[in-house]
Amino acid sequence: MAQVLEFKLPDLGEGLTEAEIVHWLVEVGDVVAVDQPVVEVETAKAMVEVPCPYGGVVTARFGEEGTELPVGAPLITVAVGALSPDEVPDALETATPAPSGTADPAAANDAAPSGFAANGSATNGAAREADGASGNVLVGYGTAAAPARRRRVGPARPTATVPRTAPATGTPGTPGPAPVGIPVSVSAGRDTPAAPGTAPARGDGPVPVISPLVRRLAREHGIDLAELAGSGPDGLILRADVEYAAHAARTRPRAVPGQDHATTPAPRPSAESSPADRSVPAGGVVRTPLKGVRGAVADKLARSRREIPEATVWVDADATELMRARTAMNAGTGPRVSLLALLARICAAGLKRYPELNSTVDTAAREIVRFDALHVGFAAQTPRGLVVPVVKDAHTRDAESLSAEFARLTEAAREGRLTPAELTGGTFTLNNYGVFGVDGSTPIINHPEAAMLGVGRIIPRPWVHEGELAVRQVVELTLTFDHRVCDGGVAGGFLRYVADCVEQPAVLLRTL
């Protein structure tokens, strides 16, 4: 008999807490292999294909495309075990989930899949593969016995239910609670939302909340979500429900001894409205959720401005000689050298002289942490928004190697193929906003770094060169730095060194 295993959205690394379903790669009824990608999700950092650690028949999918799910929410259920073609339809309707709450530990081990103990630890890799569990454990997600099933909290669809034994609460031999129905298949349709004021029977399942904003709002107001009745589809708790409960708690009069108070509940907002919606101007507005890349950028920029006392210095530089040097480098048949790569080499040499800017502040320990290695991030505008890929160990690369890595990461960013590792770990950032046709800016530091060099457009301007007025290729260089790690003398010294190298590239020869 097939056994239904639930695969939850794993921790995809780097502290990510949610992901948006972009595209399902499997349908209900499809047969999947161990570690086969089943869904493509978009995190705050990158697009990721999520592999399933089980092999078998997909019996349910949780969440439609465009739905944002928190880490730990169920993605799919898979019927694991040998199935004949005639048994596949039956597996979509009924399956035997692993017992939960078995009173006898030995019995629990017997009920677990071969190769696993009741606590989920693998006892034999070969047995694990034979039972359809992957040996490739995802971050924060182990392949183990079937986890306790949870009720779907997304848009509801008619489902078949199978009995599930509730956790035993008494001694062995004591009858337990009645079985609880659980969904194991997905089909078209929608359930009727729970009636207002009626708390849904959730059993030992999770609170039906999808949005992290709703959870945060409940925490801020001290509201127990388990006691709320959701007004959304299938009892889903919405922001309006939390706001209503918070308002009711604020307006509830305090009891006075010997006195009875008749209270009239405040009008309950509908599931489709919020306090902000009721004050929309006649002309209307467009609301765009701050999620995905846009949300991550907003959070990081706000944190940077909140925590870092930044200062900015800038200088104009004659880039004529640097542009000539680049032209000479690219005159041959070898790989082309980019301007960004030359600037990265200049910055690497400058940070070797002024290492204070290649650091971060550990606010908890009240320490400045200085890095030996240089990992250069660079701002890249993509269809998904602004991202900052990171070139690791930039101080060890030459101009050709830097050019190739910048090109590779830029292409991956435009196609949405960057991994979380390629978007994190930077120690210094280059921001070439000159590609947008602007001269200067006061960029916000990429938290938790300590400095960012901004480069404006390079355009012909009148310039005094060797005592005479001439038309030269001039660029504005801007350095924004964390004033906690250094004073203006260090920042000015670094920027002046960068400008000198731009004006006279031969200066770099002293450090090569």
Active site residues: 483
Distance, CA of 10 to CA of 147 (rounded, Å): 13
φ/ψ (deg, to 5) at 250:
-70, -35
Site of tokens 């002024």: 354
List, as one string, the DSSP characters of 210-267.
--HHHHHHHHHHT--GGGPPP-SGGG---HHHHHHHHHHHHHPPPP-TT------PPP
From the CB of residue 129, how many other CB atoms can be counted at a distance below 10 Å? 14
The alpha helices in 64-114, defined as continuous H runs, are 88-93, 105-111
The three-class DSSP label of residue 176 is coil
The three-class DSSP label of residue 335 is coil
Q: What is the CA radius of gyration of the chain?
A: 30
φ/ψ (deg, to 5) at 289:
-60, 135
From the CB of residue 327, how many other CB atoms can be counted at a distance below 10 Å? 10
Distance, CA of 460 to CA of 16 (rounded, Å): 45
Query: What is the token pair recorded at 84?
Result: 């004949």
Contact 149, 164 (CB under 8 A): yes
Contact 13, 63 (CB under 8 A): no
Query: What is the token pair recorded at 369?
Result: 């942490």
What type of residue sits at position 226? Answer: A
Bridge partners, residue 323, by sequence: none
The three-class DSSP label of residue 9 is coil
The three-class DSSP label of residue 50 is strand
Distance, CA of 43 to CA of 66 (rounded, Å): 12
Q: Is 384 exposed, middle or buried (0-12, 13-18, 19+ CB in 10 A)?
A: middle
